């Protein structure tokens, strides 16, 4: 399993990583592997305000439909239309070309919140599940 150093992870298998003035949000390679072939992605519109823990979209695979949850509070400033048009990108490169949202955080301190795991903590967590 590959994780990004510097990224933070949720128990629901989303990642958030600083990207300039914003953060990038997506699902982890572990989650993508568990889902299998992703066939549909629904993401919010630019300008949508997210609340930490709130469902912001859906990813559907041949195996399951899963909600996506916001790792932090913030405003959606970009949506990766490529994954909407070609959902398989998530399985191919979840932490690269398969990113989902760019979010402008309402509170940068949330990136250091204890409920968000470091890369090492997430590797241990995912290995247990």
Can you give the pLDDT at residue 129? Answer: 65
Mean pLDDT of 43-71: 96
SS3 state at 34: helix
pLDDT of 3 > 80? The answer is no
Task: Please tell me the distance from the alpha carbon of residue 7 to that of residue 67, in angstroms, as a whole number.
Answer: 20
pLDDT tens by residue, 10-40: 999 999 999 999 999 999 999 999 999 999 9
Q: What residues are paired with 117 via a beta bridge? A: 9
Domains of the chain: 8-110 (2.40.50.100)
77: enclosing H helix or E strand: strand 74-79
Work out the percent of the chain whose per-residue pLDDT is above 70: 97
pTM check: above 0.75: yes
Q: Which two tokens stand for residue 86?
A: 């070609």
């Amino acid at each position: 399993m590959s994780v990004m150093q510097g990224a933070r992870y949720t128990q629901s298998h989303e990642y958030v990583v600083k990207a300039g003035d914003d953060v990038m949000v997506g699902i982890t390679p572990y989650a993508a592997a568990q889902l299998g072939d992703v066939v549909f992605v629904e993401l919010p519109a630019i300008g949508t305000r997210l609340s930490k823990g709130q469902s912001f979209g859906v990813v559907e695979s041949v195996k399951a439909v899963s909600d996506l949850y916001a790792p932090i509070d913030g405003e959606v400033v970009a949506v990766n239309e490529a994954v909407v048009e070609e959902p398989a990108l998530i399985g191919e490169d979840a932490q690269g070309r398969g990113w989902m949202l760019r979010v402008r955080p309402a509170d940068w301190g949330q990136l250091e919140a204890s409920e968000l795991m470091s890369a090492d903590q997430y590797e241990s967590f995912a290995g247990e599940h």
